[in-house]
């Protein structure tokens, strides 16, 4: 018995068990579908694909100004540095863009999935959990990166550094019961 996976004609990921029975045609293996993965999306970024910006108007406007000016208008926001993170939507497959406050750790860029202390993580974080291959823009520098959640030791070290950049992160942590993720964006 072996497992196979692929996409159906409807674009749904399928996991199947191959073997274990007599097929109608001996040249065709018998299989049983044991689960589906949901929609399968092409993860490559296409030049003509227009990303969707954050649903909050002020964030979307900040993001658009940042991108249009190569960061000249928007890199510094309220006195702190910001970057533009582009993820692939986990359900839609569409590109999603957000301006986020950042810090650095060596060559990595660090962002915090605080969502203002809301009970759930922001959608961009769920997207990068599903597909960690992202695009980052810092000023005029645009590059592919791989996102990963900081482990506990890294988070313990990085949290105070991020709070020194944006002190409200500590207030957000007090507002929620969830562990606020710290994310490292590493050039690919």
Q: What is the pLDDT of residue 88?
A: 96
Q: Is residue 13's pLDDT more than 80?
A: no
Give the per-residue pLDDT at 89: 95
- To the nearest whole percent, how much of the chain has pLDDT over 70? 75
Burial class (CB in 10 A: 0-12, 13-18, 19+), 152: exposed
70-92 pLDDT, tens digit each: 999 999 999 999 999 999 999 99
Range of the domain at 100: 52-187
Q: Which of 80, 93, 90, 82 is nearest to 59 (CA)?
A: 82
First and final C-alpha spacing in the chain: 37
Q: What are phi and psi of 182, to 5 degrees?
A: -110, 130
Q: Which residue has the higher pLDDT, 125 or 24?
A: 125
Q: Do 6 and 73 fall into the same domain? A: no
Distance of CA 83 to the CA centre of its chain: 14
Residue 45 lies in a domain: no
Are residue 19 and residue 82 in the same domain, yes or no?
Answer: no
CB neighbours of residue 112 within 10 Å? 26
- Cα 158 to Cα 86: distance, rounded to the nearest angstrom: 22
Q: Higher-confidence residue: 28 or 179?
A: 179
Q: Are residues 28 and 58 in the same domain?
A: no
Stretch 173-183: mean pLDDT: 97
| Same structural domain, 113 and 24 | no
- Is 47 domain-assigned? no
166 and 105 within one domain: yes
Question: What is the value of pTM for the model shown?
Answer: 0.75
């Amino acid at each position: 018995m072996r497992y196979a996976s692929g996409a159906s004609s409807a674009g749904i990921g399928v996991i199947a068990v191959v073997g274990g029975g007599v097929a109608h045609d001996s040249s065709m293996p018998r299989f049983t579908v044991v689960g589906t993965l949901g929609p399968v999306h092409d993860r490559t970024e296409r030049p003509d694909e227009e990303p969707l910006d954050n649903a909050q108007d002020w964030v979307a406007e900040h993001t658009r100004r940042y991108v249009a000016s190569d960061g000249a208008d928007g890199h510094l926001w309220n006195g702190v540095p910001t970057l533009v993170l582009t993820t692939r939507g986990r359900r839609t497959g569409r590109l999603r863009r957000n301006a986020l406050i950042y810090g650095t750790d060596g060559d990595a860029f660090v962002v915090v999935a605080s969502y203002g202390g809301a009970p759930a993580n922001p959608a961009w974080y769920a997207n990068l959990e599903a597909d960690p291959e992202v695009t980052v823009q810092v000023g005029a520098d645009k590059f592919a990166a791989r996102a990963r959640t900081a482990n506990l030791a890294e988070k313990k070290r990085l949290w105070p550094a991020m709070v020194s950049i944006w002190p409200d992160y500590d207030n957000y942590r007090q507002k929620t019961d969830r562990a606020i993720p710290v994310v490292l964006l590493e050039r690919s």
